[in-house]
Protein backbone atom coordinates (compact mmCIF):
# COMPACT_ATOMS: atom_id res chain seq x y z
CA UNK A 1 0.00 0.00 0.00
CA UNK A 2 2.76 2.56 0.72
CA UNK A 3 3.79 2.26 -2.97
CA UNK A 4 0.25 3.22 -4.04
CA UNK A 5 0.29 6.22 -1.66
CA UNK A 6 3.66 7.37 -3.08
CA UNK A 7 2.37 6.97 -6.65
CA UNK A 8 -0.84 8.86 -5.79
CA UNK A 9 1.28 11.69 -4.32
CA UNK A 10 3.30 11.73 -7.57
CA UNK A 11 0.03 11.94 -9.58
CA UNK A 12 -1.22 14.85 -7.43
CA UNK A 13 2.13 16.65 -7.82
CA UNK A 14 2.04 16.12 -11.61
CA UNK A 15 -1.51 17.49 -11.72
CA UNK A 16 -0.30 20.58 -9.80
CA UNK A 17 2.57 20.91 -12.30
CA UNK A 18 0.05 20.74 -15.18
CA UNK A 19 -1.99 23.46 -13.44
CA UNK A 20 1.15 25.57 -13.00
CA UNK A 21 2.04 25.11 -16.69
CA UNK A 22 -1.46 26.26 -17.71
CA UNK A 23 -1.14 29.36 -15.46
CA UNK A 24 2.35 30.09 -16.89
CA UNK A 25 0.91 29.64 -20.41
CA UNK A 26 -1.84 32.20 -19.65
CA UNK A 27 0.67 34.68 -18.16
CA UNK A 28 3.07 34.30 -21.11
CA UNK A 29 0.11 34.73 -23.49
CA UNK A 30 -0.90 37.94 -21.70
CA UNK A 31 2.69 39.26 -21.81
CA UNK A 32 2.91 38.47 -25.54
CA UNK A 33 -0.39 40.32 -26.17
CA UNK A 34 0.93 43.35 -24.23
CA UNK A 35 4.20 43.27 -26.25
CA UNK A 36 2.20 43.13 -29.51
CA UNK A 37 0.01 46.07 -28.38
CA UNK A 38 3.11 48.12 -27.48
CA UNK A 39 4.67 47.30 -30.87
CA UNK A 40 1.39 48.30 -32.56
CA UNK A 41 1.28 51.59 -30.61
CA UNK A 42 4.90 52.35 -31.56
CA UNK A 43 4.11 51.55 -35.21
CA UNK A 44 1.09 53.90 -35.15
CA UNK A 45 3.15 56.72 -33.57
CA UNK A 46 5.92 56.24 -36.16
CA UNK A 47 3.37 56.31 -39.02
CA UNK A 48 1.75 59.51 -37.63
CA UNK A 49 5.16 61.19 -37.23
CA UNK A 50 6.16 60.09 -40.74
CA UNK A 51 2.94 61.48 -42.23
CA UNK A 52 3.50 64.81 -40.42
CA UNK A 53 7.10 64.93 -41.66
CA UNK A 54 5.97 64.18 -45.22
CA UNK A 55 3.35 66.99 -45.00
CA UNK A 56 6.00 69.40 -43.64
CA UNK A 57 8.43 68.33 -46.38
CA UNK A 58 5.84 68.73 -49.15
CA UNK A 59 4.73 72.15 -47.82
CA UNK A 60 8.31 73.45 -47.51
CA UNK A 61 9.25 71.76 -50.82
CA UNK A 62 12.94 71.39 -50.02
CA UNK A 63 14.54 68.45 -51.78
CA UNK A 64 16.90 67.79 -48.84
CA UNK A 65 13.97 67.63 -46.40
CA UNK A 66 12.03 65.24 -48.67
CA UNK A 67 15.09 62.98 -48.97
CA UNK A 68 15.58 63.14 -45.18
CA UNK A 69 11.92 62.25 -44.53
CA UNK A 70 12.03 59.36 -47.02
CA UNK A 71 15.14 58.03 -45.25
CA UNK A 72 13.33 58.31 -41.89
CA UNK A 73 10.28 56.50 -43.30
CA UNK A 74 12.45 53.64 -44.59
CA UNK A 75 14.38 53.37 -41.29
CA UNK A 76 11.13 53.48 -39.27
CA UNK A 77 9.57 50.79 -41.48
CA UNK A 78 12.65 48.55 -41.06
CA UNK A 79 12.62 49.04 -37.26
CA UNK A 80 8.89 48.27 -36.96
CA UNK A 81 9.10 45.17 -39.17
CA UNK A 82 12.17 43.93 -37.25
CA UNK A 83 10.48 44.44 -33.85
CA UNK A 84 7.28 42.72 -35.03
CA UNK A 85 9.27 39.78 -36.45
CA UNK A 86 11.29 39.43 -33.22
CA UNK A 87 8.07 39.55 -31.15
CA UNK A 88 6.46 36.94 -33.43
CA UNK A 89 9.49 34.63 -33.19
CA UNK A 90 9.71 35.02 -29.39
CA UNK A 91 5.97 34.36 -28.97
CA UNK A 92 6.19 31.40 -31.37
CA UNK A 93 9.15 29.88 -29.49
CA UNK A 94 7.44 30.48 -26.13
CA UNK A 95 4.23 28.85 -27.39
CA UNK A 96 6.18 25.87 -28.80
CA UNK A 97 8.14 25.35 -25.55
CA UNK A 98 4.96 25.57 -23.44
CA UNK A 99 3.17 23.14 -25.77
CA UNK A 100 6.04 20.61 -25.59
CA UNK A 101 6.22 20.87 -21.77
CA UNK A 102 2.43 20.49 -21.53
CA UNK A 103 2.38 17.41 -23.81
CA UNK A 104 5.29 15.80 -21.91
CA UNK A 105 3.60 16.44 -18.54
CA UNK A 106 0.29 15.02 -19.81
CA UNK A 107 2.04 11.89 -21.17
CA UNK A 108 3.98 11.40 -17.91
CA UNK A 109 0.79 11.90 -15.93
CA UNK A 110 -1.07 9.34 -18.07
CA UNK A 111 1.81 6.87 -17.68
CA UNK A 112 1.82 7.36 -13.88
CA UNK A 113 -1.97 6.93 -13.77
CA UNK A 114 -1.65 3.61 -15.67
CA UNK A 115 1.04 2.47 -13.18
CA UNK A 116 -1.28 3.40 -10.28
CA UNK A 117 -4.14 1.37 -11.80
CA UNK A 118 -1.82 -1.63 -12.34
CA UNK A 119 -0.36 -1.42 -8.80
CA UNK A 120 -3.80 -1.06 -7.21
CA UNK A 121 -5.12 -3.96 -9.31
CA UNK A 122 -2.17 -6.18 -8.28
CA UNK A 123 -2.52 -5.20 -4.61
CA UNK A 124 -6.26 -5.88 -4.61
CA UNK A 125 -5.67 -9.28 -6.32
CA UNK A 126 -3.03 -10.13 -3.72
CA UNK A 127 -5.40 -9.24 -0.85
CA UNK A 128 -8.31 -11.17 -2.41
CA UNK A 129 -6.12 -14.22 -2.99
Report yes or no on 6 lying in a domain: no
Q: Across residues 29-50, what is the average pLDDT?
A: 77
Q: How far is CA 119 from CA 32, 71, 105, 114, 124, in A?
A: 43, 71, 21, 9, 9
pLDDT at 48: 78
Report yes or no on 4 lying in a domain: no
- pLDDT, tens digit, for every residue of 41-53? 777 777 777 777 7
Q: What is the pTM of this model?
A: 0.40
pLDDT at 101: 72
The DSSP 8-state label assigned to residue 124 in this structure reads: H
Residue-range definition of the domain harbouring residue 99? 13-128
Q: Across residues 71-100, what is the average pLDDT?
A: 74
pLDDT at 1: 58
Question: Considering its fold, how many domains does the chain have in total?
Answer: 1
Report yes or no on 7 lying in a domain: no
Report yes or no on 2 lying in a domain: no
Report yes or no on 60 lying in a domain: yes
Q: Over 60: is that where the pLDDT of 128 sits?
A: no
Amino acid sequence: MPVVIVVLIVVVVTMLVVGAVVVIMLVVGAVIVVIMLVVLAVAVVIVVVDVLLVVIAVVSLTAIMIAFVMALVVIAAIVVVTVVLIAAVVSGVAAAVILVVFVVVVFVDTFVAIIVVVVVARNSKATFD
